[in-house]
Amino acid sequence: MRRTALVGRPLPIYLSAGAFFGAIAARGFLVPLRAHELGADRFQVGLLFSVATLAGALLALPAGFLADRFGRRSMVIFSAATGGVSQLLIAYSGSVPADDLWQIVGGLGGGAAQAALFASLADSVPSARLGRAMGWLTFAMQVGFLGGPALAGSLLAFTGLREALALTTVLYVLPLALSPLISGVRSEVRSWDLLTPLREMTRRRGFPAAVLALFAATIVWGTVQAYLPLFGKEALLISGQATGYMLAIQAVFNGVSRVPGGRLVDRAPRKGLIVAAGVIVYAIAVIVLPHLGGFWAPTVLLAVAVPFVATAYVALSVTFTTLAPRNGVGVAMGLYGSILFLGLAVGPGVFGAVMNRSGYVSGFTACGVVSIALALVALLVRAYEPALRRHPLQPTDALLDRRVG
């Protein structure tokens, strides 16, 4: 009776998200070190990151569809199993090419986990509180991103890289243990047609603007996170330890801003303005960043700016939920994950090339300007979309429910 009452509650989803992303972050910290130990060069280390991210981007959408088809719980179990097994295989692998393969498997699990957890949360809370719930979910993810590397670093004080990779696999056990408490909701539609719910989403008013805005937020966020450690060493002239503190402080401000940001999103009638403002403020900070020096000025700048983009991400996750067709929340959140992972891969690749040729000032400036331009275009598309489509569009079922309520 007690277990049945807990099924569909958000707490198991939050705990699973923290464990999943703690495992992913620990893996991201340990795998490059293990690859270097095996003789990998910088290109091979970068490839290990890219293949996992692109695999997540490719599977997030079909994983969301499968979460609708077979239920969220099934995809959580799949994600935990593939993530844990692939990490163990990396731990006991002696080959960098083999690690690329296991990183792809792990990336598939990561993409499936995000789609399933976001969809499960949308099933578990009413639309009026979805922003706060998304805030708590993404807060749990940030705790995982902060705690995973901390756990891995602590283990390295007592063990080697191989053993630390194996031991952090235990983080995947928690989602498996909590999976009976996660919603088993599945779509009433038994079709294997993925294109139909996607076509329905593209016809929703606000869809093109949401895609543009999410891509704008993700390329600027991914570029900064990928290059901040190297930027700290080469441009800010601070130690690796100091750069780690900078990243940790940014992560703390990112996490603690998610829940109040979610409350703001729930109360806001126009979420597009929150998204655009969040992206633009963070992009301006990125443009200013390479003109600063030392530790404190860049740290304060990022700590002040990161809550804006964090709130933008909460608003975007809620928006994609409201854009979901009937019986297609998993597909909507899978598409959200695909765009997210794609931006994380594209941003560092494109603007990293600019940095290599022209320096950090040019690279960060180009990234910030492009993100601002995309955010502004998203606002314009949202404002003029009915005229562009040349026919009136009906709001989504979720928005209708909200208006009636």
- Could you read off the pLDDT of 80-100 as tens digits, one per residue? 999 999 999 988 888 888 888
pTM: 0.81
Residue 2 has pLDDT above 50, yes or no: no
CB atoms within 10 A of CB 188: 8
**Any idea which of 130-139, 204-213, 391-400 has the lowest mean pLDDT?**
391-400
* pLDDT exceeds cutoff 90 at 292: yes
Q: Identify the CATH class of 1-181.
A: mainly alpha
pLDDT band at 254 (very low <50, low <70, confident <90, very high): very high
Q: Which of 141-145, 168-172, 383-387 has the lowest mean pLDDT?
A: 383-387
Which residue intervals of the chain bear CATH 1.20.1250.20?
A: 1-181, 195-396
pLDDT-based confidence at residue 299 (cuts at 50, 70, 90): very high
Burial 294-329 (b: 16+ CB within 10 A, else e): ebeebbebbbebbbbbbbbbbbbbbbbbbbbbebbb
Q: Are 7 and 148 in contact (CB under 8 A)?
A: no
Query: What pLDDT does residue 3 have?
Result: 36
pLDDT given at position 196: 77
> What is the tens place of the pLDDT at every residue in 275-284?
999 999 999 9
Residue type, 199: R
Identify the pLDDT of residue 266. Answer: 94
Number of H helices, E strands in the chain: 17, 0
Query: Which range among 67-71, 191-195, 246-250, 354-358 shows the weakest confidence by mean pLDDT?
Result: 191-195
How many other CB atoms are found less than 10 A from the CB of residue 69? 20
Query: Above 90 in pLDDT, residue 398?
Result: no
Give, as one character, the DSSP assignment of residue 95: -
Q: What per-residue confidence (pLDDT) applies to 401?
A: 43
pLDDT beyond 90 at 40: no
Instruction: Identify the three-state secondary structure at position 293.
Output: coil
Rounded Cα gap, residues 103 and 93, in angstroms = 12
CATH of segment(s) 195-396: 1.20.1250.20
Instruction: Characterize 105-121 residue by residue with b for buried, 16 or more Cβ atoms within 10 angstroms of its Cβ, and e for exposed.
Output: bbbbbbbbbbbbbbbbb
Beta carbons within 8 Å of 13's beta carbon, 6+ residues apart: 117, 120, 121, 124, 137, 182
Read off the pLDDT of each residue in 185-200 and give the average, rounded to a whole number.
66
